[in-house]
Structure 1
Amino acid sequence: MTSEVLYTVLVALVGAERLAELVVAKRNLAWSRAQGGREVGFGHYPFMVALHTGLLAGCLLEVWLGHRSFVPALGWPMLALVVGGQALRWWCIRTLGHQWNTRVVIVPGLSRVEGGPYRFFSHPNYVAVVVEGVALPLVHTAWITALTFTLLNAALLTVRIRAENGALAGLATA
């Protein structure tokens, strides 16, 4: 099996993980709305979906059409970062429980979560996203995708974190 095929399997696995996240998010959104939750900062959400879909597509297109090589000295450490990013992402999801979502939803009366990775910094899920956005493309030297996603994601996270911080400011701490 060629490195391109193996890389395609990796990107497909990351895509499947993203679909699993959406299932969890949909379930959590229903729970949050049933508890009186309200969504804020939703204007950026379609751009976020397009950007994350574009990351996966860009990885594949650049590798297959750009004939990118697998460079072991770069690829293996980047793969380790992808796996680490996934572990951090699911640690965030498990820590937040019903409060985790791909959207910014605030449920009245709930406290701000400060356990798990949130003990160390405010937005650990975005650390996972940033790491993955760099590392996943670089597993197979798709540097244009890594650079493009990173720049666009920086702009998106500026808007997203501002919306989240504003919404979280109204929550009590545990």
Structure 2
Amino acid sequence: MIWAIVFLVVIIIQRLVEVAIAKSNEKWMKSQGAREFGQSHYRLMVLMHTAFFVCLITEGLWLEPTMSSLWPIWISLFILTQMARIWVLTSLGKYWNTKIIVLPNAKVVSKGPYRFVRHPNYVIVTMELIIIPLAFNAFVTLFLFAILNQIILTIRIQEEEKALMAITNYEEEMKSKFKGVLLPPDVER
């Protein structure tokens, strides 16, 4: 049980650090003339991620306080996703954010995982929303948030691609890149 709590606390601390990085990057980007898009769905995304942790704690630690017997596998996969997340963050640098903030006429980042996939961070988040509940045997949380995440990503990716295509070289740079599994179809201008 103590390892489950430690694991959860580490995840929550990581998310808080990411929010701090995002706020710093947002301030810098806006000082450079960046514009924000998708504000209407952003609150829903934050609410969904907050609800994920509430449900995970309720189901995984309170109702069924046991880690999966396969927890070493789930923790190993989680660590791999975090390595991929660091790759995403370091590839984007000051352009990484939890919000859709786009610097007009900026050259789109096409290094790191962006050489292969248009939205690697969303693939990572999707994997986390599967792996973390599996580590806690929180199957209701798993199924509920797998569905909610895909709904949010369908809205978000369309909004993000529309913004990037409108004011950057995104369309040319990313046209041949894989969008990822379960992501929405191409967006038209």
Question: Into which bin does the TM-score normalised by the smaller protein fall?
Answer: over 0.9
Letter in 2 for 1:94: T
Residues 41-71 of structure 1, C-alpha deviations (whole Å, 9 max, x = no match) = 1111111111111222222111233225323
Aligned-partner Cα distance in 2 for 1:77–1:39: 39
TM-score by length of 2: 0.85
Q: Which runs of 4+ in 1 moved over 2 A?
A: 68-72
Aligned-partner Cα distance in 2 for 1:98–1:83: 23
The partner residue of 2:169 within 158, 169, 172 is 172
Q: 1:77 aligns to what?
A: 73
The partner residue of 1:110 within 85, 96, 106 is 106
Unaligned runs of 5+ in 1: none
The partner residue of 2:139 within 136, 143, 150 is 143
Alpha-carbon RMSD: 1.3
Unaligned runs of 5+ in 2: 174-189
Contact in 2 for aligned 1:130/1:150 (Cα 8 Å): yes
Q: How many residues align?
A: 170
TM-score by length of 1: 0.92
Q: 2:13 aligns to what?
A: 16
Q: Percent identity?
A: 34
Does residue 87 of the first structure (1) align with residue 83 of the second (2)? yes
Does residue 119 of the first structure (1) align with residue 115 of the second (2)? yes
Letter in 2 for 1:22: V
Q: 1:30 aligns to what?
A: 27
